[in-house]
Structure 1
Amino acid sequence: MPTYSLALTLAITAPLLAPGYLLLRDAVSTPRAYLTDAAVGLTEAAPRALPQDFFVAVASHVVDGGVVVKVLLVVGLWLAGWGAGRLAEVVVPAAGLGGQFVAATLAVWNPYVAERLLQGHWSLLVGYGCLPWVAVAVLRLRDSGGGTGWAVLFWIAVAGLTPTGLMLAATVALTTCLAPGVGRSRRWCAAISLGAAVVGALPWLVAPMVSGSLSSSQAAGVTDFAARAEPGLGTLGSLAGLGGIWNGQAVPSTRMTLFALLATGVLLAVVVVGLPTAVRRPGARPLLVLAVVAVVAPAVMATGPGLAAVEALVRAVPGLGVLRDAQKWVALAMPGYAVAGAAAVATMARRVPRGATAAVCCLALVAVLPDLAWGVGGKVASVRYPAGWSAAAAVVNADPAPVAVLPQMSMRQFRWAGPAPVLDPLPRWVSAEVLTSGDLNIGGRTVPGEGSRAREVERLVLSGAGADELAAAGVGWVVVEGGSPKLSLPVAYADDDVAVYRVGGDRPAASHRGTMIAAHLAWLAALLAGAAGMTAARRRSAVH
């Protein structure tokens, strides 16, 4: 099963094996990253990328940052397939090896993976890959007590590379605690799951407390980030088929036509055929219920009343801005879908040989999403930075004072990076504070971010403010990406791709860095302790 899952993963990610960097929409990798204030959550923006930025910054001191990100992405998808097969083995053993192959195929080869790859959500896919392993770890505790809480701690910590991943993993863990069993009690399993989740969440729980970074401005984007209906399916049908991401540009070509209807029908047919067998398995029932909720809830959130309720909730509790992108929660359906897909082999066993059923199901799942192969039709591939970017970063790193950057919006397009917009790589490439507003342009409408100071500095720069005025505002450098506009400021470096202007201002470093570093180290300690505990438990088991 690990080999098959890796083969599926490499069939998707093969273009990333070439030299270069993952740079696509929200995915940004650079040769080196630094433990800046932003990397530990001390900014105006909500802590969306913690602790992933911390981890990549630390790891990039040893390995090239582009390699770190690409390896994590490949490992995440590999874990999804391998874990789904393992979950099928635990929950529906009657499905045999054929059922495990179906579960692995369904977990890796589906629209959710394709759309999140195109959106650049590599760290979310790492969390996604941990979900079946979380379910297996909790089921082992509930079933016989033979498992250990270390496995739960480890997998939740790995999923916690991003806040959404941790929330997904914690939800799967708590849901799986409801499965019947004669091992550890439900309360004990729930306590372990919640404890692991709290420790894993410390980086992004502590950040807003010390930086005051949460605001109600995220409510402005609720409608823009709602789940989207695909051709012939409607919102509910799109979500049931594991599609429906808010960004219509981050969608495989086959999902933009009525072929999406056929593809969804095939995926759901595999799941539905296995339901009669799956529902008879006690360990599967909580996961199946969770799958239904994971599909229906985002669909309800995309309705008029649902959008109004979510917007009101985000305004009342700014930290719940994470709910805006409702389709990402469909990931919670994957463990249940994988179990039901595996059970299809057992359901058909009386009429069709298991191997034949498994082969048909696997081939059908791949055939209805052919453009997931080779980097979603070549769209997810390695990108090479122009030499000027390294030179510009070196200039700033020699004197890491705060940086104002143009263009204004968070997303920009580079001729050398392909047709899709990308997040600005500069904040991850320099050891200085880069002022970013977080503003997004979606369908011609600006969704404001939380960076009010950056927005004020941008206005100063665009109004033609001189070096003295910008320095007084705490700006040390102005970087213009893409070659325009030209500014009347002292030039430190310039070429056709990027220009660096020296201003000379500075600003004291943010306070509470020690607190945030400690929060990240707590997450890292949980990760390492979980891994060590799992290893020790396996050795003891092998001895006995």
Structure 2
Amino acid sequence: MLPAYALALALVVTGPLLAPGYLLLRDAVSTPRSHLTDVALGLSDAAPRALPQDFAVALGSHVVDGGVVVKALLVAGLWLAGWGAARLTAAVLPDAGRAGQAVATTLAIWNPYVAERLLQGHWSLLVGYGCLPWVAAAVLRRREGAGWWWPLAFWLALAGLTPTGLMLAATVALAAACAPGVRSWRVPAVTLALALLVASPWLVASAVAGSLPASQAAGVPAFAARAEPGLATLGSLAGLGGIWNAEAVPETRATAFAFIATLVLLTVVAVGLPVVVRRPAAVPLLALAAVAVVVPAAMATGPGLVAVEAVVNALPGLGVVRDGQKWVALAVPGYALAGAGAVILLRRWLPGAAVAAVCCAALIATLPDLAWGVGGRMTAVSYPDGWRSAAAVIDADPGPVAVLPPDSMRRFAWAGPAPVLDPLPRWVRADVLSTGDLVIGGRTVPGEGARAREVQDMVLGGATREELAAAGVGWVVVESGSGDLDLPLAFRDDDLTVYRVGGSAPASPHRALMIAVHLAWLAVLLAGAAGTTVATLRRLRSGATSAPGQ
């Protein structure tokens, strides 16, 4: 019953994506086919933020359409978040029953964090988010001597589609391992070992590609958490909102209604706290929730920004911490348990089903525009035919591609009003040069693509075909009518112009290494899935044979 309820909520949220087409919204880019280019393997001068996500999507798109792969993973992430919250509640608060589990499920799916990350296009982060309650439940079972290591391996590997997802999951696992009771070094030790193995794609890519310059510190103020109307930054984060991009928020969170919605959410959580704090297994998750709210709020203050900039300058690999609000995901397992605890407390005076119905309805009513693609702003998009034709031209001779305009984000009339990352790098077989520069509030936050910046300067400066070929450029693609170039024309329509340059660049000598570490991640994922399936079947068979009358 609870899995079906969680799936229903996930489908209500993502309904528009069930139509034919592709997810194209800000950072979310899906294409019909992806390839194992050097860029997809992390062998470029850009930070490896999308590993092993790009590897997984490239493999999946060779079996089914890439748009289906991305949309299926997004729906699965939200479904797992709700179902996992119910399972975690059953493990920590068994007396909450289905009523409490329903509240936990609703809170995990229907909240501002999910809405804002959907609008920002962070579909793979939401897959990691969906793994968090499962990770906590798996660790708690291992601490009690029940279950196997397979589930923990699987959930860490699935969350590890992105570096942030893995960091979130490993943090939840370590917190759950600190619950009072049985003390063992094995759970945190195995968690760290698995996390390092799962992280090997982006750790190794960072080492061999040298793609973590100190320039990441320049974006710290731009990515700081943001206060919503009627709320300070701390209040916005406590209400699971406050993303840095004011354009990636539901309409109700851009008004004073955000205060009412936050008050309702925190009331549900606060009512259940007296019950949950008495459960030892829940205490570390509640403490983690408090830290996940307070620390990002502190990071958004003047001294906090200075401290984060200093850390990122000293350790460029920690540029991932710039977006402080995304760490609020760590609060959701604790919040979900507290929401379930509200049912336990209030059913002293009211039926549990009635309490659950009121709590669930209140959570949904205070964020009505999460429904149906966050108020219709997240839809399935169809590419113009010219994109397929241009990709076919480049794929016939996959040399490095330079793209104009130089910005990383594009606005296409056929893709809706919101900007989107250039789809070309995830479509063609060639490596597409990208600077990674972002313009936020009129200020340019420089990316890591030094070579791409040099090539784009050459193109904008009127470099000849011979000069571009000598620089290793195979093609120049001009999108959305950005002007004509004095280069040999290979394809043109109303949306794209492709120029043939003919240059080439050698493949990275580290391709075999990067494929090997990606296969190691995939092995952990598949082995974890197989082991979990076998263990579950054995448990079900054991339960059936021990039932009365058997």
User: TM-score, normalized by length of structure 2?
Assistant: 0.98
Q: Could you tell which deviates more after superposition, 66-75 or 461-470?
A: 461-470
Q: Distance in 2 between matches of 1:537 and 1:358?
A: 32
Query: 1:336-392 deviations in whole A, cap 9, x for unaligned?
Result: 000000000001111111111100000000000000000000011100000000000
Q: Distance in 2 between matches of 1:403 and 1:186?
A: 53
Residue number in structure 2 paired with 1:320 = 318
Secondary structure of the 1:401 match is coil
Query: CA RMSD, aligned part only?
Result: 0.8
2:357 to 359, 380, 389: 359
Q: Distance in 1 between matches of 2:208 and 2:352?
A: 57
Q: Distance in 2 between matches of 1:402 and 1:171?
A: 39
Indicate conservation of the 8 Å contact 1:227/1:235, yes or no. Answer: yes
Whether 2:301 is the aligned partner of 1:306: answer no
Residue number in structure 2 paired with 1:411 = 409
Secondary structure of the 1:39 match is coil
Q: Distance in 2 between matches of 1:94 and 1:275?
A: 15
- 1:151-166 residue pairs with structure 2 within 5 A? 151-166=151-166
Letter in 2 for 1:175: A
Residue number in structure 2 paired with 1:111 = 112
Letter in 1 for 2:431: E
Whether 2:210 is the aligned partner of 1:209: answer no
The 1:542–1:356 alpha-carbon spacing in structure 2 relative to 1, beyond 3 Å, is: closer
Indicate conservation of the 8 Å contact 1:22/1:381, yes or no. Answer: yes
Secondary structure of the 1:500 match is strand
Residue number in structure 2 paired with 1:68 = 69
1:507 to 505, 508, 511: 505
Residue number in structure 1 paired with 2:369 = 371
Give how far 1:94 is off: 1.6
Q: Distance in 2 between matches of 1:543 and 1:413?
A: 55
Letter in 2 for 1:43: S
Query: 1:257-306 deviations in whole A, cap 9, x for unaligned?
Result: 00000000000000000000000111110000000000000000000000
Q: Distance in 2 between matches of 1:34 and 1:115?
A: 29
Query: 1:65-119 deviations in whole A, cap 9, x for unaligned?
Result: 0000000000000000000011111111121110000000000000000000000
Q: Distance in 2 between matches of 1:48 and 1:246?
A: 18
Letter in 2 for 1:31: P
Give how far 1:465 is off: 1.1
Letter in 2 for 1:205: L
Q: Could you tell which deviates more after superposition, 436-445 or 530-539?
A: 530-539
Residue number in structure 2 paired with 1:6 = 7
Indicate conservation of the 8 Å contact 1:179/1:285, yes or no. Answer: yes
Q: Distance in 1 between matches of 2:41 and 2:176?
A: 32
Give how far 1:542 is off: 3.3
Whether 2:246 is the aligned partner of 1:245: answer no
Residue number in structure 1 paired with 2:446 = 448
Residue number in structure 2 paired with 1:54 = 55
Q: Distance in 1 between matches of 2:252 and 2:446?
A: 32
1:187 to 180, 185, 188: 185
Secondary structure of the 2:284 match is helix
Letter in 2 for 1:165: G
Secondary structure of the 2:88 match is helix
Give how far 1:488 is off: 1.2
Give how far 1:146 is off: 1.2
Q: How many residues are treated as equivalent by the alignment? A: 541
Letter in 1 for 2:269: V
- 1:170-181 residue pairs with structure 2 within 5 A? 170-181=170-181
Give how far 1:457 is off: 0.6
Q: Distance in 2 between matches of 1:416 and 1:223?
A: 32
Secondary structure of the 1:276 match is helix
Indicate conservation of the 8 Å contact 1:142/1:180, yes or no. Answer: no
Query: 1:144-189 deviations in whole A, cap 9, x for unaligned?
Result: x11111111110011001100000000000000011344xx43111
Residue number in structure 1 paired with 2:523 = 525
Whether 2:142 is the aligned partner of 1:141: answer yes
Secondary structure of the 2:497 match is strand
Q: Distance in 2 between matches of 1:349 and 1:208?
A: 53
Residue number in structure 2 paired with 1:169 = 169
Give how far 1:56 is off: 0.3
Letter in 1 for 2:151: A
Q: Point out where structure 1 has 5 or more consecutive residues left out of the alignment.
A: none
Residue number in structure 2 paired with 1:260 = 258
2:418 to 411, 420, 439: 420
Query: 1:5-57 deviations in whole A, cap 9, x for unaligned?
Result: 00000000000000000000000000000000011110101100000000000
Q: Deviation above 6 Å: which 4+ runs of structure 1?
A: none
Whether 2:384 is the aligned partner of 1:386: answer yes
Residue number in structure 1 paired with 2:475 = 477
Secondary structure of the 1:283 match is helix
Query: 1:395-446 deviations in whole A, cap 9, x for unaligned?
Result: 0000000100011010010010000000000001001010000000001111
Letter in 2 for 1:369: L
Q: Distance in 1 between matches of 2:242 and 2:184?
A: 34
Q: Distance in 1 between matches of 2:538 and 2:243?
A: 45
Give how far 1:254 is off: 0.1
Give how far 1:540 is off: 2.9
Secondary structure of the 1:509 match is coil
Residue number in structure 2 paired with 1:95 = 96
Letter in 2 for 1:59: G
Residue number in structure 2 paired with 1:333 = 331
Indicate conservation of the 8 Å contact 1:253/1:371, yes or no. Answer: yes
Give how far 1:537 is off: 1.8
Q: Distance in 2 between matches of 1:541 and 1:273?
A: 35
1:462 to 460, 463, 472: 460
Residue number in structure 1 paired with 2:548 = none
Q: Distance in 1 between matches of 2:89 and 2:356?
A: 13
Query: 1:321-345 deviations in whole A, cap 9, x for unaligned?
Result: 0000010000000000000000000
Residue number in structure 1 paired with 2:547 = none
Give how far 1:195 is off: 1.3
Q: Distance in 2 between matches of 1:223 and 1:378?
A: 30
Q: Distance in 1 between matches of 2:402 and 2:483?
A: 13
Q: Distance in 2 between matches of 1:434 and 1:61?
A: 20
Secondary structure of the 1:233 match is coil
Q: Point out where structure 2 has 5 or more consecutive residues left out of the alignment.
A: 543-550
Indicate conservation of the 8 Å contact 1:152/1:192, yes or no. Answer: no
Q: Distance in 2 between matches of 1:153 and 1:195?
A: 10
Secondary structure of the 1:478 match is strand
